[in-house]
Amino acid sequence: MSQFNSDSSASKDLIKGALDVDPWLEPFSPQLINRQLQFKEWHESLLKSEKSLDSFASSYEKYGVHADWNTKQITVTQYVPDVKEVSIVGDFNHWNPNSHKLGQANNFGLWSLTIDAVDGEFVIPHDSRYKISMLLPSGERIYRLDPWVIRATPSTENTLYEGRFWNPNPSDVYKRKTPRPKNKDGIKIYEAHVGISTPEAKVGSYKNFTTKILPIIHRLGYNTIQLMAVMEHAYYASFGYQVTNFFAASSRFGSPEDLKELIDEAHRLGISVLLDVVHSHSSKNVEDGLNMFNGTDHYLFHGGAKGNHDLWDSRLFNYSNYETLRFLLSNLKFYIEFYGFDGFRFDGVTSMLYKHHGLSYGFSGDYNEYFNPDLVDNDAITYLILAHKLLDEISIREDITLTTIAEDVSGMPTLCLPVNKGGIGFDYRLSMAIPDMWIKILKHLTDEQWDLGLIVHTLTNRRYGEKCISYCESHDQALVGDKTIAFWLMDKEMYTNMSVLTELTPVIDRGISLHKLIRLLTFSLGGEGYLTFEGNEFGHPEWLDFPRVGNDESYHYARRQFNLIEDDLLRYKFLFEFDAAMQHLDTKYNILLSQQAYVSLKHEGDKVLVFERNGLLFIFNFNSTQSFPDYKVGVESPGVYQIVLNSDDPKFGGHGRIEEVTSTGEKLQFFTNNDPWNNRANSLFVYIPSRTAIVLQLKDRV
């Protein structure tokens, strides 16, 4: 696409919303306008040729191999440029490339075939193997998996995956029973991987997740699940990030119908389900992936060195290619319509946004880093804007809420502004600096060296008007080679002293206390949404390591031991219950949906932190040795306050040093004084034990 004249006032209107949010973007108006005009040119082109963006993204209904249960005909449509012949082969025709040849549907590489029924039956049986065969100009014949295949399974004969014709009897197709939930509280994400969601040393299933894990997530109070590693990946240890078959849900966990049931049951429980979508790159696999599909290195990808991601050893999409856009946009709509997903967490967005892919690039926050045409990939940005335009259209048409989250470490401005305000369209970005901060603190500092000012700055340093998902740790920190917060705090004694029958040692006492405080602080101060990785919320005692050559293909660490929270003799239950109380606190008081907190106190000597958010008063004492009776804190609204969450409660593994109920059986109350303190209009006195956090709510205004 070409560059555009961006001087007109009409063009300036395209980014007015972005400039209203951030006037410092004004010098970069030409670049912002060019992004929007490039998107508009693509959008108008697609409207002209495809009638609508929605129709363009419905190509998954035509491309690939499809069955008509009324006529028992099978239609095959494939985009295969630069070849002489295209055939469909499989068990049904004894893999004979001369048996079922496709004809050229147009001059742009489109091929098609209709296979009539024989004796009133489909010629290709359900779940039978098939491939696309192509004759190259060189005379070489190659065999590849259908790029649009919706089921691929491991071969019993070699290490490759095989394409399957998924065409179950309509009576066996899972039918949704529950409409999508419309959650009104803040987004609380449970990041999960179906395969590891079992205490057993094996690959977990969609069925297991549905029956055993969904109730746990519901009990905790999370209203969103982010499912990882769903898009088919031949190498299990890639954690789903080396996608081989983009339309196929991983068969190692079960059937497509099982996944539909999982999502439907989540909806019944009021839980939305996001897909961890990988559109930033693709596996280099040739025999069972997209790479070299038609014998060239530029099928949907950039050719040459530009099409390779050196660090990830993978292929990079050409977002300026018409058919690449068809493939990727259709992929998004497919997962929404076919499976019922409620949105996406886009992986590797930094790699997409920049020509350097973020490799060895230290982002300083200088706006020139985000708008330099030599650094930024505007074609990728155009794709992302088109994707959000598509999702907006689907949301309006279906009256549903679709959510998108960007994994971006760069801090690209306007990434999380709506398209109609001149933004790229994401709803949230992951606050990736927060987990890095916590790990550095736990790794390098003693408790006395914690800098509350730096912690608060990191938690609150986010772009105005662009929403963030805060988290202490995700799957990244749980992987072997890294360490979870629980491990940093307690790994020396996690295997020996987590039983309530053993003495509460200083290591375990500190670990349990800080595990709760770090999470509550991140949750309440760090963003407009919150995320945890499964198991980390209760301090899972082991890292995550998938079976591979380096560990003798062991599944021992590729599992989550949910049985630990059900064991009444173990202390993991305390962390689990605290995490649940934290999630339900937001459900009741809408913390995440409210404005950013007002921090009234960061006392480095006392290690006390105080802030207010949406009518709640948060008080943290990170001091390792000192408890403070009658500690004076400021608060804006006068009245009577009561405790609604207390990390020192014995049910959370605390010491019960705060008597929340008086001797007369009434709840402990805190009365404000008309005495301004720390820039707040009123003040009150509280008892805050060491390594404790309490949350107070105004019960009666005076």
State the catalytic residues.
347, 407
Q: Are 604 and 539 in contact (CB under 8 A)?
A: no
The partner residues of 395 in beta bridges, in order of sequence, read: none
Is the dihedral angle over the CA atoms 12, 13, 15, 21 positive or is it negative?
positive
- Dihedral over alpha carbons 454, 458, 460, 466 (to 10 degrees): 160
Which of 617, 679, 604 lies closest to 453 in space, CA to CA?
Answer: 604
Neighbouring-strand partners of residue 143:
133
Tokens 């742009």, residue located = 108
Residue-wise burial string across 405-425, b where 16 or more C-beta atoms lie within 10 A, e elsewhere: bbbbbbbbbbbbbbbebbbbb
Q: Token pair 């929404």 is at which residue?
A: 336
Sign of the CA dihedral 248, 253, 257, 260? negative
CB-CB contact of 668 with 661 (8 Å): yes
- At residue 666, the 3 state secondary structure works out as coil
For residues 226 and 189, the answer to whether their CB atoms sit within 8 Å is yes
SS (H, E, C) 203-243: CCCHHHHHHHHHHHHHHHCCCEEEEECCEECCCHHHCCCCC
8-state DSSP, 250: P
Closest by CA position to 411, among listed 495, 453, 349, 477: 349
CB-based contacts of 574: which residues, under 8 Å, 6+ apart? 512, 651, 652, 653, 654
Judge residue 642's burial from the number of C-beta atoms within 10 Å of its C-beta, 0-12 exposed, 13-18 middle, 19 or more buried. Answer: middle
